[in-house]
Amino acid sequence: MKRIFLLTVTNVAVLVLLTAVISLLHLDRWLTAAGINYPLLLVFSLVVGFSGSFISLAISKWMAKMAYQIQIIDSPQTEGEEWLLNTVRSLAARARIAMPEVGIYQSPEVNAFATGPSRSNALVAVSSGLLSQMNRRQIEGVLGHELTHVSNGDMVTMTLLQGVVNTFVVFLSRIIGVAVDSFLNRDNDERRGMGMGFFIGMFLSEIVLGILASFIVAWYSRQREFRADAGSAHIAGPDAMLSALRGLQALSEGGPVIDERSASLNTLKINGKPSGFLSLLATHPPLEERIAALERLQVAA
């Protein structure tokens, strides 16, 4: 709730500042003349920007279970499942969070992820590939990493950040659309309403602004990975997390296997890959950088 409050206040403050700038530059008169009620547009942008993000967060566990056919471990059937459940329970206690749901999905990828709408309602899923190709100490490091994401409230923060950038993409794209339409029809004083220029300008600017917004979201995602590595070193032990990262590095040298059944969840995975064509769109830092950061942290300690 603290994160929601702070980011909501920040978003409202920026919107107020944006309104003040529009007034000082007398853009409000231009927007009004163009038939745009900009205070209403700000509210519309806020609703559109956040609604999709919050809906995605609310159904995130259900989406993950459906996409990967995750088998939730309610009653362990094997010694391995019992160990996995007990390890998560122990790490969750150290991280001071509620016990999340624990599940396994059948996939050759060596990966794991955490999702869910809150710290007390989370899911930690691991692939069968991870369980078969890593030793238990490495798996413990991976689990510590995912539980740190839960402890840090990263799922909620990412949702709020996405909502903020979505708000400004929606708002600014429509302002740009109005500007383009006004420019294309500057000689037609009798014209009323939005023409084709508005829709073309809005559509193209949404694409460009959406890419720029992705840079911000991806940057934050990379920073949270470093924090999750450090958190795992704290609750599972630095040797466990370092061993896990080195194991992932060794496995990735032959070309990592990534399960693409739900590409939108790749940002949640311990070893997610960039989804864009530029490194600035990478949601995870290179494994070499993560290993180096953890080694520096270990030396400093």
- The catalytic residues are 146
Q: Residue 271 and residue 278: Cα distance in Å, rounded?
A: 17
Is 226:292 a contact under the CB 8 Å cutoff? Answer: no
Is 262:67 a contact under the CB 8 Å cutoff? Answer: yes
Angle formed by the axes of helices 154-184 and 38-58, nearest 10°: 150
Angle formed by the axes of helices 60-68 and 38-58, nearest 10°: 50
Please report which helix (H) or strand (E) contains residue 118, including its range: strand 112-118
Q: Residue 156 and residue 78: Cα distance in Å, rounded?
A: 33
Q: Residue 148 and residue 131: Cα distance in Å, rounded?
A: 20
Comparing C-alpha atoms, which of 288, 267, 246 is closest to residue 113? 267
Q: Residue 59 and residue 53: Cα distance in Å, rounded?
A: 10
Tokens 């896990």 locate to: 244
Give the full edge-to-edge strand order of the sheet including 101-105: 71-72, 101-105, 121-127, 112-118
Q: Residue 156 and residue 151: Cα distance in Å, rounded?
A: 11
Please report which helix (H) or strand (E) contains residue 165, including its range: helix 154-184
Q: Residues near 275 by Cβ (< 8 Å), separated by ≥ 6?
A: 263, 266, 267, 281, 283
